[in-house]
Amino acid sequence: MRILYIDIDSLRPDHLSCYGYHRRTSPNIDAIAAEGVRFENFYATDSPCLPSRTAFFTGHFGIRTGVVNHGGEYADLPLEGPGRGFRSRMAMESFAATLRRAGYHTASISPFPFRHTAYQVWFGFTETYDTGKGGLENADEMYPPARRWLQANGQADNWFLHVNFWDPHTPYDHPEAYGNPFADEPIEEWITQELIDAQNESFGPHSATEVPGYTDQLPPVWRMGRGRIRTLDDAKAHLDGYDTGIHYADHFVGKLIQDLKDLGIYEETAIIISADHGENQGELNVWGDHQTADQCTNRLPLIVRWPGVTDAVAGQVRRGLHYHLDLPATILELVGGEQPASWDGRSFAPDLRGPQETGRDFLVISQGAWSCQRSVRWENWLLIRTYHTGMKAFPEYMLFDLAADPHETTNLAGQRPDVLGAGLERMDRWVAEQMYRAQRGDPFWGIIREGGPLHANEHSKDWHQYLARLRATGRGHHADRLEQFGGRPFTSGLE
């Protein structure tokens, strides 16, 4: 079997038309979904980019390896120490190395490992190609090497090709000639002027008051969007940029699919479409970034079209709870490989063959590069516990009924202590299980000891310059509280 894995950075599923989005952002992805199986509740164990892809390609939860940050000690894998053999066990048990043992030629086309110096993502790959711009590539730059690889290798059998598109990730810089496909289409109704006004009274990097980061000045590379969200027109301009990025990536997904057809191998190629993380677009006052452990940042799209496996269930949806590192375990089962005993993934291959739902009872997900949050996802509930706010107004506890409130607007932690307790019990049980396998203890305590996550570290120039900006823009009371509390939440959320 040939396997094409399309990995689209920062792609949240509910902005794809095949997931019910009101804008037609993804006609080519939609077509693959119609021929395959779509998963509704597929989550990155750890977010954002570096922790997510490390977990996916190594098969291990971030709490086990300690890789949950974008900098500091907890952005690197731990040393194996005296027990290390001629080859690293982590490398030899990686996803790509395991596929190689199953007889697959493995290739990856991505700037990601260099962008984060996270070469564990490439452990075991037969071929790797760095497109060279550190994640600033548009899809028109990622597609040509993928096309060349398919032309040279596509008609061979038993290959796995990873292609990494970036366009939904900021900056929104697709070519000007592509235009704005959504200029005349409204945004979702949950975003109101009242919401925007409240967010403008608050604070935080990548919030409504500082969309690109620590200021409201968009760098020149941004072609669409706003530096600050003051009005519904600003919100629309920003969301048009994100949705156009999705549409642009989808356009080149279509080109890859056509290449498979032109080579005569489409009917013998499994196609998998997913992402490393999603993106908050106004939720919890984060615009165009991935700073939380929640429905917006950790929930991923997953579409699997596998000839001979999904044919009988084409177009169906699965709603069971799955981690993203369950996907490598599934692929290994489908190709007849052997999953390493050390992996945390569980195969959901039965979900692809028939109407079964093999999801987990609950998931525990994390964020460690912007904030330190650990969350539990079960039934219709999402419980977020914040240990370090990442310079945000996050309380210690947030509880959301995702069926009624998918955009996380109403914190129910104080109103539903029964549900809060049920979530905390699940989290505590899971953490206790992982502590016996964690190689560096709970990485959150290490990050907090370092001063906090890389992007909101209390020792950094960014932290102190942002406090000065808050005071210069009439929000000195927020700066005072950040000085008083540091990264600790100001409130419990139970008030």
% of residues, the chain, pLDDT over 90: 99
Instruction: Enumerate the H helices of 316-412 as residue ranges.
Output: 326-334, 349-353
60 CB-near residues (< 8 Å, 6+ apart): 325, 342, 343, 344
> What's the mean pLDDT when you consider all of the chain?
97
Would you state the pLDDT for residue 350? 97
Residue 444 has pLDDT above 90, yes or no: yes
Residue 217 has pLDDT above 90, yes or no: yes
**Cα(306)–Cα(407) distance, rounded to whole angstroms?**
32
**Cα(274)–Cα(269) distance, rounded to whole angstroms?**
16
Would you state the pLDDT for residue 95? 98
Mean pLDDT over 466-474 rounds to 97
Would you state the pLDDT for residue 372? 98
What is the third-level CATH fold of 2-476?
Alkaline Phosphatase, subunit A (3.40.720)
Pairing of strands 299-305, 37-43: antiparallel
Each residue's pLDDT tens digit, 47-93? 999 999 999 999 999 999 999 999 999 999 999 999 899 999 999 99
Residue 19 has pLDDT above 90, yes or no: yes
Residue 291 has pLDDT above 90, yes or no: yes
Domains of the chain by residue range: 2-476
Beta carbons of 448 and 487 less than 8 angstroms apart: yes
Would you state the pLDDT for residue 356? 86
Residue 402 has pLDDT above 90, yes or no: yes
Burial of 10-45, coded b for 16+ CB within 10 Å and e otherwise, reads bbbbbbbbbbebebbbbebbbbbbeebbbbbbbbbb
Each residue's pLDDT tens digit, 301-325? 999 999 999 999 999 999 999 999 9
Each residue's pLDDT tens digit, 332-390? 999 999 999 999 999 999 999 999 899 999 999 999 999 999 999 999 999 999 999 99
Q: Categorize the per-residue pLDDT at 141 as very low, low, confident or very high, splitting at 50, 70 and 90.
A: very high
> Model pTM?
0.97
Instruction: Enumerate the H helices of 263-385 as residue ranges.
Output: 326-334, 349-353
Q: Categorize the per-residue pLDDT at 434 as very low, low, confident or very high, splitting at 50, 70 and 90.
A: very high
Residues, the chain: 495
Helices and strands (DSSP H and E) totals, the chain: 15, 15
Amino acid present at 269: T
Would you state the pLDDT for residue 84? 93
Which DSSP state fits 177? G
